Amino acid sequence: MRAFVLKHTIVALWMLSHGAGPALSHASEQGFVLLLPTDIYTNAGVTAVAATVVLLALLPEALSKCLFRPLHLWPISLKRLRFLSCTLSTCLLFWMIWRGLVGDRDPLDNPMPLLFWTVWWVALVSLQGVFGNIWQWIDPLRVPVHLSSWSNPVFRYPASMGYWPAAIGFLLFAGFLLADIAPTDPNRLALVVAFYVLATCFAVMLFGRRWIVRAEFVSVMMRSYGRVGLFGRARGRVSVGLWGWLATTQTAPPLSLAVLFVLLLGTGSFDGLNETFWWINFLGLNPLEFPGRSFVVLPSLIGLLVSNALLIGVFAASLWLGAQISNDRRSLPDLFRAFAPSILPIALGYHIAHYLTTFLVDGQYVLQMVDDPLGRGWHLLDLQDFFVTTGFFNRQSSVQVIWLTQAGAVVLGHIIAVLMAHRIALRDGATSWGAFVGQFPLALFMIAYTFLGLWLLATPRGA
């Protein structure tokens, strides 16, 4: 069997950006990344976050509060328009499912995986976090849910369930993303999405719209990210402020929702970790001949759960330690609830950094698909001479720009997180110095996490 020359099993490995996500493996920038002075960049990024922590201790309290003060723009209410756009979005969803079932089998040609993974999961989640709750305008479930709730619900949604169904739903989704052997298969994905839509409608019939607010993970996740966007509603007006301003004005989320915030980061982190040489080597596999997702289904699921559990534990421990230092009498769950929103910008930074290279490539396939959505030889966008390219991964200069953009997202996410945590502490009555002292362990955690995020971007990947 030694004669089985695994020539190409290896050759393309260094051409990869990241393969664990669906339809994501294209890039060749890894070789160039290893030639970049990423250690210097990493030190600079970590220092920037640490400097933010120190600066906050010195910053006058009033100025700290000012940071997140929004600018109120205009009063606006376009509910009818929203219903129309969501109806169109629902039509698009049904069209995607239909194309997934009967369309081209190639995941980079079929609208189902392209729109679901590249447009929704990669792009829209990022945009939601950056700009605010745009999902409310394009939520494809809004109309089916509206129709499903025409009669009174059979049961009252149990308050004790909180947001736990959404947290579990997100973990199941993450398992599909990270461990399923063919999450981009158009047919398979269409069936999964169709089942989820039907199950959601059924649940809404049983429990009413509260199911969407508390239990449907897509809505809950999107609203969560929407909390940290630039735009939001305050005092009846569209308002704009520094990322996270809206979240700092809101009351602390319930514990189940707070846990979901942390799961977003834990999952994003593992999504990066599971592609590294370190992880593949840890599993006893050769990172230069990664055998395929089917070989690591169980390790991926275990890794996903352990990563999230670890993160929850470390985050809680940081909060507990901070409370001990600053003599904060609040219970640990209350602290967890109060500070969990500050995790969101980190999760968003990870998401953007992790998927940027994917978007650069698969976004081109989306354009090709839009050019000819039904595979009829149309050129709606006049792209007849267009070829998908990964040339930007083949130049040191462009790879450097891409890497620094990714690193910038990670670092900025952490800086916002540090600022948010400080603001939340002030909101809850601490003095500027008190907040600094009380959050010192949390700040250390965030500085360490910056290092982890930048290391994930710089370290060789093999899956």
Nearer to other proteins, 89 or 187 (CB): 187
CB of 76 to other proteins, least distance (A): 41
CB of 393 to other proteins, least distance (A): 8
CB of 283 to other proteins, least distance (A): 12
CB of 452 to other proteins, least distance (A): 18
Nearer to other proteins, 196 or 277 (CB): 277
Nearer to other proteins, 190 or 443 (CB): 190
CB of 15 to other proteins, least distance (A): 4
Nearer to other proteins, 357 or 450 (CB): 357
Nearer to other proteins, 334 or 372 (CB): 372
For the chain, give the secondary structure using H, E and C: CCCCCCHHHHHHHHHCCCCCCCCCCCCCCHHHHHHCCHHHHHHHHHHHHHHHHHHHHHCCHHHHHHHCCCEEEEECCCHHHHHHHHHHHHHHHHHHHHHHHHCCCCCCCCHHHHHHHHHHHHHHHHHHHHHCCCHHHHCCCHHHHHHHCCCCCCCCCCHHHCCHHHHHHHHHHHHHHHHCCCCCCHHHHHHHHHHHHHHHHHHHHHHCCHHHHHCCHHHHHHHHHHCCCCEEEECCEEEECCCCHHHHHCCCCCHHHHHHHHHHHHHHHHHHHCCEHHHHHHCCCCHHHCCCHHHHHHHHHHHHHHHHHHHHHHHHHHHHHHHHHHCCCCCHHHHHHHHHHHHHHHHHHHHHHHHHHHHHHHHHHHHHHHHCCCCCCCCCCCCCCCCCCCHHHCCHHHHHHHHHHHHHHHHHHHHHHHHHHHHHHHHCCCCHHHHHHHCHHHHHHHHHHHHHHHHHHHCCECC
Nearer to other proteins, 161 or 383 (CB): 383
CB of 277 to other proteins, least distance (A): 5
Nearer to other proteins, 95 or 131 (CB): 95
Nearer to other proteins, 26 or 223 (CB): 26
CB of 289 to other proteins, least distance (A): 6
CB of 123 to other proteins, least distance (A): 18
